[in-house]
Amino acid sequence: MTATGHAIIGTVIAAKVGNPALAVPLAIVSHVAADLFPHWDEGTNGKKSKERIIVEAVFDVLIGFAISYLIIFVLFPKTNLSYAFLIILISQSLDWLTAPYYFWGLKPFKIFYKFQKMFDNRMPAPWGIINQIAILALIVILAKIF
């Protein structure tokens, strides 16, 4: 999923699960679950240059933080911001750990790339984006209701 997708899921976990002993493992597992869902991300279209993917990924990360902040501000204002930020980073962590190999070929990080390849379920745009927005909106709405 996009960094934004993982951030939104991390935000919901932080808002709903106050106990880090539960939220941290949940955030890690959520990354795998989110990537199993058919989705588009910056690397889905294989024709882009590495530089372009990096630029898009940086925007993705920043947009993810901004949307997460908005979700907390509007829907879950009691959530501690530092706690939410931590859970967001943990939700994204597999991608942070994959990036050094994916972008710069740093071998020690290849294991994370290989691990993610096992469950990463790609779907091209536009459906891989529409799909993602729909499931994320549903998760946020359900988290607000229950």
CB-nearer residue toward Zn ion: 3 or 23: 3
Tell me if 35 contacts Zn ion by CB under 5 A. yes
Residue window 121-140: x/- pattern of binding to Zn ion, with contact defined by CB under 5 A: --------------------
Closest CB 118 distance from Zn ion, rounded Å: 11
Cα separation, 7 vs 66, whole angstroms: 10
Closest separation between CB of residue 106 and Zn ion, Å? 17
CB 13 within 8 A of CB 83: no
Smallest separation (angstroms) from Zn ion to the CB of 18: 25
Candidates 20-28, 88-96, 100-108, 124-132: pick the segment binding Zn ion (CB under 5 A).
88-96
Only one residue has tokens 């879950």, namely: 76
Going by C-alpha positions, the residue among 95, 98, 118 that lies closest to residue 108 is: 98
- Is there binding between residue 95 and Zn ion (CB under 5 A)? yes
Q: Is 48 left (phi over 0), alpha (psi -120 to 50) or beta?
A: beta
Q: How far apart are CA 3 and CA 27, in angstroms?
A: 13
Residues in touch with Zn ion (CB under 5 A): 35, 95
